[in-house]
Structure 1
Amino acid sequence: MEITHANRSKSENPLSERTRKNPWWIETMLVDGIKSRPRYNGLSVNKSSRNHVFVADGDGVNAIADLFAVHSQDIGGHVTIVFAEHNEGKAEHAAPLESISADSVHIMPSIPTAINRLAGVLHSARMGTQIYASGTEALIGLTIQLAQAYGMDPQSVITEHRGSFARRVQCVHCKGFTEDVRTNIVECAHCRTNLLVRDHYSIRHAAFQGVCVDAEVPGDLPQVIEAFK
């Protein structure tokens, strides 16, 4: 029986002087014009919908509050809000919910639990339901992924980015996901491969793609920078 391993051996050698001085990987990490890179056009009201489902985390709730402050008269029908709290600034982030006129509000302790709650909402949703997602890229991506799983056009989800640009990254080698990535180089949380975080994005996986950065010389890494704050 042939057995393959997603992870590989790592060199114990310290980083080379060439690696410390040569930042060329940084320049090739983010490439303009990649079509899969998500774009967020900002929240707007779908006036024809009679069932509005808003999903947000962190500062994303302020985007919903701003929309209601200007266009509340255009939002007709049933309004549901699913909000994912974060450990930092819970009270501050949740406060705007009090100013929003909604029929039901679900405050969840994390993004995964908020997505699970959203699945329950969509399970009983009717034709013509409009989904809105605002907040971090991870929250928006997972919302779009779920909407697609329920047969909706992913491009129909109205989005607005607020807050951190930290990324959800899929390792192309072991297929595992690493959450809340803020640096250009990250160690895969599963197979421990050093990954270069690219702008290539998968809607199906709701994640940016990470590829092995030191395949030729294990342990020889480019400069690590905080690229996604």
Structure 2
Amino acid sequence: MHPESLEAPTNRPIYSPVIVNNKSAHHLFICEGHQSKEFQTLYSSIEDPKKSRLLASEDEFSSDHETIVVTHSALKEKLTRLLAELPLSTTIYLQGCEAFMWDLHSVAIQAGMVAEQVKMFTPVSRQRRLFCTHCHHITEDVTHSPAVCSYCQRNLLVRDHFSRLHSAYVGVQINAEDPADLPLPQELS
């Protein structure tokens, strides 16, 4: 019999360095907001007819001939339409916050892609999406634990357990016997 580990279990996604999949017929780059130098360099390394780029932004601005600017609200629908038109051997490269990337990962999987066709850069922020295990509500942009559920107002411990179904981390109520007994807030890493 082995003693139990004192460390909390974790299943946080691991983001490996992103490299170009040379076997792809097309490369679709999708970025939320500002594009990093790494993202731009990878995009520039692929020949023009084999690539396209979507930029998710709520701001209206002119784009170059290679970039399609889409609002966040229209992005999932636009991606679904694009994936129906692109070759089956397309690779998607994603950059943005974690919830953004996993939402688009889900769209790609629903469209028939496999996980290996979706490459994700390291998230650009530490903000997390939080799934409350009590009311099943999602709270966005969580940066500290404990966090307050935006729906049921419970104080939630932000676990390092990531739900791919909800593209969110799991939150459980802290000290249900005495909800006023809270630990000091800790910034999430």
Whether contact under 8 Å (1:115, 1:143) holds in the other structure is yes
What fraction of aligned residue pairs are identical, expressed as a percent?
A: 29
Compared with structure 1, are the counterparts of its residues 204 and 151 closer, same or farther at alpha carbon in structure 2 (3 Å cutoff)?
A: farther
**1:176 maps onto 2:137 in alignment:** yes
**8 Å CA contact 1:134, 1:162 repeated in 2:** yes
CA distance in 1, matches of 2:99, 2:23: 28
Q: How does 1:78-89 map onto structure 2 within 5 Å? A: 78-85=50-57
**Deviation (angstroms), 1:106:** 2.3
Q: Secondary structure in 2 aligned to 1:161?
A: coil
Change (3 A) 1:86 1:138: farther
1:79 offset after TM fit, Å? 1.9
1:106 aligned residue: 68
> Given the superposition, is the C-alpha separation of residues 224 and 67 from structure 1 closer, same or farther in structure 2, using an over 3 Å criterion?
same
Q: Tell me the SS of whatever aligns to 2:187.
A: coil
Deviation at 1:116, TM superposition (A): 3.3
Q: Given that residues 49 and 129 in structure 1 are in contact (C-alpha distance below 8 angstroms), is that contact kept between their aligned partners in structure 2?
A: yes
Q: CA deviation at 1:144?
A: 1.3
Residue in 1 that maps onto 2:3: none
Tell which structure's C-alpha radius of gyration is larger: 1
Aligned residues: 184
Provide structure 2 residue ranges, at least 5 long, that are not aligned to the other structure: 1-5
1:126–1:64 CA distance, 2 compared to 1 (3 A): same
Question: Could you say which residue in structure 2 is the equivalent of 1:25?
Answer: none
Find out whether 1:44 has 2:6 as its counterpart.
Answer: no
Consecutive unaligned residues of structure 1, counting only runs of 5 or more, are 1-27
RCO greater where, 1 or 2, for CA within 8 Å and sep 6 or more?
1
Note if contact 2:90-2:117 (Cα within 8 Å) is conserved in structure 1.
no
CA distance in 2 between counterparts of 1:118 and 1:183 reads: 32
Cross-structure match for 2:128 = 167
Once the two structures are TM-superposed, the CA of residue 61 in structure 1 deviates from its matched residue by 4.7
Normalising to structure 1: TM-score of the pair? 0.69
Name the CA distance, whole Å, in 2 between partners of 1:67 and 1:149: 26
Match for residue 145 of structure 1? 106
One-letter amino acid of the structure 1 residue matched with residue 68 of structure 2 = H
**Cα RMSD for the two superposed structures:** 2.7
Deviation at 1:68, TM superposition (A): 3.1
Closer/same/farther in 2, CA of residues 65 and 41 from structure 1, 3 Å limit:
same
Query: Greater share of helix residues, 1 or 2?
Result: 1
1:62 match: 37
